[in-house]
């Protein structure tokens, strides 16, 4: 508008705002207070609490990150899994890397000092894994032959290597038996897997029936025991103190702590259920 300003040159400026970078995340894994995701490129990005190095960005200050930071090392990951205070990723070659709290050997890098790792360290043993699962006190991997390997706190049997592994193991130990697993899932101080003939096996802490083998004594299992009921499962998911499975027909079955109804079997099921209980309703689940 030049009205009243004849003969004067008017200069205008335009304010611009730089948009944040767009990142396409293909996979997300959530821990207690942090989240990680994989970009299309295979780079891992994490955000949230970094108090225990679980973001893997190399920052040793423990400062919370309110937006994604890249995990150090230039790795190209194919999968990622997060627990309360650490994170693990599987790279495209099948090598496993972990970062964060190592107080119970849950990073599997062979370091017995318990020192926190602020960027990825290699899980020892030279294993080529196809899948990883992790909780706050232990981690497990599935190798190309279907053998399971676990590391971390084995005091309650979560490592599955027999009584000799009832302690902290700082690198992977073989789960006992000749099982060929197709998947693994880990809960607090216990682990479960589905084998190639669709049987479910669990090992570790059983105080609330989360192993599902029908044993009502609460005794911890240091080697895999078969889940009762002769069900054919396609998938399992471990919770805090209960486990659920999906059978070939799409029916859901759960066992363990039912004090707040987590098993879905109705009000008369009891507070602890030691073998699979069918989830009520005619649902056909896919996952």
Residue 238 makes CB contacts below 8 A (sequence gap 6+) with 185, 186, 187, 190, 191, 192, 210
Please name every residue paired with 131 in a beta bridge, in sequence order, or none if there are none: 142
The per-residue b/e assignment along 105-124, b for 16 or more CB within 10 angstroms, e otherwise, is bbbbbbeeeeebbbbbbbbb
CB atoms within 10 A of CB 17: 5
pTM of the model: 0.90
Length reported for the chain: 287
131/179 Cα distance (integer angstroms): 16
Q: pLDDT tens track of the chain, all 287 residues?
A: 334 434 444 444 455 556 556 679 999 999 999 999 999 999 999 999 999 999 999 999 999 999 999 999 999 999 999 999 999 999 999 999 999 999 999 999 999 999 999 999 999 999 999 999 999 999 999 999 999 999 999 999 999 999 999 999 999 999 999 999 999 999 999 999 999 999 999 999 999 999 999 999 999 999 999 999 999 999 999 999 999 999 999 999 999 999 999 999 998 888 999 999 999 999 999 99
């Amino acid at each position: 508008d030049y009205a009243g300003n004849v003969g004067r040159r008017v200069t205008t400026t335009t304010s611009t705002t730089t948009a944040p970078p767009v990142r396409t995340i293909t996979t997300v894994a959530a821990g207690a207070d942090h989240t990680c995701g994989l970009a299309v490129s295979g780079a891992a990005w994490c955000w949230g609490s970094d108090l225990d190095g679980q973001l893997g960005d190399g920052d040793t200050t423990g400062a919370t990150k309110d937006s994604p930071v890249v995990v150090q090392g230039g790795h190209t990951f194919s999968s990622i899994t997060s627990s309360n205070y650490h994170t693990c990723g599987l790279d495209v070659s099948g090598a496993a890397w972990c970062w964060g709290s190592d107080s119970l050997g849950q990073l599997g890098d062979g370091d017995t000092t318990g020192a926190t790792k602020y960027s990825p360290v290699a899980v020892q043993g030279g294993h080529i894994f196809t899948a990883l699962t992790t909780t706050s006190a232990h981690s497990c991997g599935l190798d190309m032959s279907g053998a399971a390997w676990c590391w971390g706190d084995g005091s309650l049997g979560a490592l599955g290597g027999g009584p000799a592994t009832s302690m902290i193991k700082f690198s992977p130990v073989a789960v006992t038996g000749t099982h060929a697993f197709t998947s693994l899932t880990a809960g607090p101080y216990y682990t479960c897997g589905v084998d190639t003939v669709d049987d479910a096996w669990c090992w570790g802490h059983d105080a609330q029936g989360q192993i599902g083998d029908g044993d009502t004594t609460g005794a911890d299992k240091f080697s895999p025991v078969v889940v009762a009921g002769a069900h054919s499962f396609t998938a399992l998911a471990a919770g805090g103190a209960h486990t659920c499975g999906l059978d070939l027909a799409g029916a859901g079955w759960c066992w363990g702590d039912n004090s707040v109804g987590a098993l879905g079997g109705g009000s008369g099921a009891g507070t602890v259920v030691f073998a699979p209980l069918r989830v009520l309703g005619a649902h056909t689940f896919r996952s």
